[in-house]
Amino acid sequence: MTDTWSRKLAAAVVVAAALAACSSSHDGLATTTVASESSSSTTSVVDGSTTTTTSAPPVTDAATVPVSATPAPATTTAGPRPGAVTIVSAGSSGGSGEIEVIWNAAVGAEIYRVYRATAVGGPFIIVATVNIVTGDATVHSGVVNVYGDSQNFWPRPYHGTGMSATFHYVELDIGGGPHIYYRVVAFNSNGHGPTGATVCAQIYSQPAC
């Protein structure tokens, strides 16, 4: 009898230990945590109840974000254009009907163009081009110089150098009125300068302008 009772008591102890272990295991499984892929939220299940905790998304350091900057377009600054030309005199240059136009050098000038009209308001046409870089002087088609329109040579177009130089243009009386009007414009590689004042040239034996 005693031996039987001892076995029952031992069995009861084993059962009690098993129940205690089961209870401890249940307590360990009572809470389940699930993390989302982005790790920005956490879901907890406790005794059948669900609790979700959301955390703020990770902050990216702005200093590490590359900035795409568009380079400023290259700018080109043009050089200065020449100054205005001042005509010193224009008028009769002899008893054969010659007309001479004299002007001073303009700052930055490389080429001068002489324009002529039979009226103060124009229209003006180009009658001569003087290139002080090459030393060439060209009388345009239809213009008669003092040596006649069949000649390629005409008087030296300028005297002196630099800003002290003076420039000369001589042509025969073209008719069309008692007065002829001239203007001279300077050019360089950056363009042309402002148009200078229009000057009236008195033709020989004609009334003054």
CA distances from 121 to 137, 176, 199, 208 (A): 26, 15, 11, 18
Type of residue numbered 64 = T
Kindly report the CATH number assigned to the domain that includes residue 147.
2.60.40.10
Q: Quick one: pLDDT at residue 172?
A: 75
**155 located within any domain:** yes
- Percent of the chain at pLDDT > 70 equals 49
Q: Quick one: pLDDT at residue 181?
A: 94
**50 located within any domain:** no
Cβ 145 vs Cβ 139: under 8 Å: yes
Domain of 172, in residue numbers? 87-202
> Which segments in the chain show pLDDT lower than 50?
5, 13-15, 18-39, 43-46, 59, 62, 65, 148-155
Instruction: Please give the helix or strand (H or E) that residue 181 lies within, else none.
Output: strand 179-188
**75 located within any domain:** no
**143 located within any domain:** yes
Q: How many structural domains compose the chain?
A: 1
Radius of gyration of the chain (CA): 53
**147 located within any domain:** yes
**63 located within any domain:** no
Per the structure block, which two tokens stand in for 112?
């001068």
Distance in angstroms (rounded) separating the CA atoms of residues 192 and 195: 9
Cis peptide leading into 73, omega within 30 of 0?
A: no
Q: Quick one: pLDDT at residue 135?
A: 78
**137 located within any domain:** yes
**127 located within any domain:** yes
Q: Quick one: pLDDT at residue 30?
A: 42
Question: Average pLDDT of the chain?
Answer: 70
Q: How many Cα neighbours within 13 Å face the side chain of 182?
A: 27
Count Cβ atoms within 10 A of the Cβ of residue 155 and give its class: 0-12 exposed, 13-18 middle, 19 or more buried: middle
Q: Quick one: pLDDT at residue 173?
A: 64
**DSSP reduced 3-state for 16:** helix
